[in-house]
Structure 1
């Protein structure tokens, strides 16, 4: 790993000048600034933020970048990550992007390597990974959290959850209850981050002989309102499904509410199952059957992996991907046997 002294020697300036350039302080000529920045990037310089924090009396800090703090899953993950960080003597700051790639980039530029020693990132797709790789190259350790494709490791260190298997588990539960007229609500677009949950579900029901799922699938967004809209479409169809799979708990709650608004009984008329097991899942009525993913475990693993990188993981270019334990079924009041046909 390059040092300030090495960059200073190659740039023909003092270490104090290099420090001022990298920290945006002092008056430094534009040519010198560009020369220093180019060398720092070329050599992969990473500041020793631990030492800097001790000298300046600042706390050791990690950052967590989430797409929407309004989604209750993210505060639950953030709480688990904050507890894990605090056990290691670090503070956690949460950066909310509102699904805006430019805002995410701004957070990484301003927080990574400056206010925070490393960054945890939720729901990074392939485009955003280029921004994350650039941040890593500048010396900011980055860990992707809740990566949904364990069989396809990303180009960054990550914690993976087998969401494909979660979809299969949901399907197996509905099939065991006798359901064959099944609909699906996906909380993302067709190529969005929920597609692997849906594929796991679709593959499982196809193996059981259910071949028309695609005709009864609605793609949308991970919100209660999107669940409302999708449920009204599915439950108003001439062939109303007896069960609906939802790729996340939040839109599943919207499905439950719309079923009630339409005068349908859950689960007598229609069963509903989600994925994640947020706290609201057991607090609503009827309580939501879901496939729980190991949120607490994933948060702790992500923090520990990030800290191992901060404290000096081997610099061999390795990009570790660690997998959590498997998802598990949590059967509650929103699923029951398929209605008997007259």
Structure 2
């Protein structure tokens, strides 16, 4: 691991100049700045932020990058992560990107290695992994949270949840209730992160002999409004549908609203099941059947993994992926026997 003094020697400047460049302070010429940054990245320089924080009297800090703080899932994850960080003596900074890839890149450039000792990243789909790897090469430990493909580990340390299995569990529940005329609302585009939940559901349905699901599937966004619009489209075009699978709880609430608008009784006329089990799922009426994922467990695992990387464990070059406990069915009032 290169030191600040080594970079200074190679760049032909003082260690103080290198420090100013890496911390964005002082007046340094553009050519010098580019030379220092190129050397730091090439040599894999990683500042000792722990020591720096102690010297400067700053708190030990982690950053959490989320795609939309308006989505209730992220505050719930954030609360669990903040509690886990505080137990270890760290503060947590929350960076909200509003689903803007450029803003997420800016947070990684400005927060990582400067304000925070390490970064937790939610919904890495919005940023190419090479951007995250570049942040890691600059010396910022990065952990991906809620990775949805345990069988396909990413190039970065991660905490994975078996969302494919969650989709299967939702399908099995509806099949057990006798539903064969089903539809699906997916809270992402076809190549988005919800696709693995949908594939789990679709594969389970196909094994049961139901092969027309693709004709009754709408892809969209992870919002109540998108769920409402998708359900209205599906139910008006396919009144024979008796159950709708939704890839996340938030658009599932929109599906319930659309059913009410169309005069359908839930679950007598239509069953609805989501995935995640946010707090709203049991607070609304009818309460939402869903497949719960271990959000608090994932948050604590992510914080602990990040701290192990900050402290130099595991060894450089390792890319650990830890998998949470399995999703669990939570059957509530929004699912019942097929009409």
Task: Using structure 1 for the length normalisation, give the TM-score.
Answer: 0.97
Q: How does 1:71-150 map to 2 (within 5 A)?
A: 71-125=71-125, 127-150=127-150
Q: How does 1:5-20 map to 2 (within 5 A)?
A: 5-20=5-20
Give the aligned length: 339
3-state secondary structure, aligned to 1:125: helix
- What is the CA-CA distance between 1:12 and the residue it aligns to? 2.8
In structure 1, C-alpha distance between the alignment counterparts of 2:291 and 2:11, rounded to whole Å: 56
Per-residue displacement from partner, 1:112-170 (whole Å, max 9, x unpaired)? 11011110000112852121111111111100000000111111100000000000000
Q: How does 1:1-342 map to 2 (within 5 A)?
A: 1-125=1-125, 127-339=127-339
- What is the CA-CA distance between 1:45 and the residue it aligns to? 0.5
Structure 2 runs not aligned, ≥5 long: none
Per-residue displacement from partner, 1:7-36 (whole Å, max 9, x unpaired)? 122223322222122122233343333322
Structure-2 change in CA distance of 1:238 and 1:307 (3 Å): closer
In structure 1, C-alpha distance between the alignment counterparts of 2:167 and 2:77, rounded to whole Å: 21
CA contact (8 A) 1:183 1:243 kept: yes
- Cα RMSD (Å): 1.2
Per-residue displacement from partner, 1:47-78 (whole Å, max 9, x unpaired)? 11111111111111111101111000000000
Task: Using structure 2 for the length normalisation, give the TM-score.
Answer: 0.98
Deviates further, 268-277 or 258-267: 258-267
- What is the CA-CA distance between 1:224 and the residue it aligns to? 0.3
In structure 1, C-alpha distance between the alignment counterparts of 2:30 and 2:335, rounded to whole Å: 65
- What is the CA-CA distance between 1:238 and the residue it aligns to? 4.3
Per-residue displacement from partner, 1:300-339 (whole Å, max 9, x unpaired)? 0000000001111244311111000000000000000011
CA contact (8 A) 2:120 2:143 kept: yes
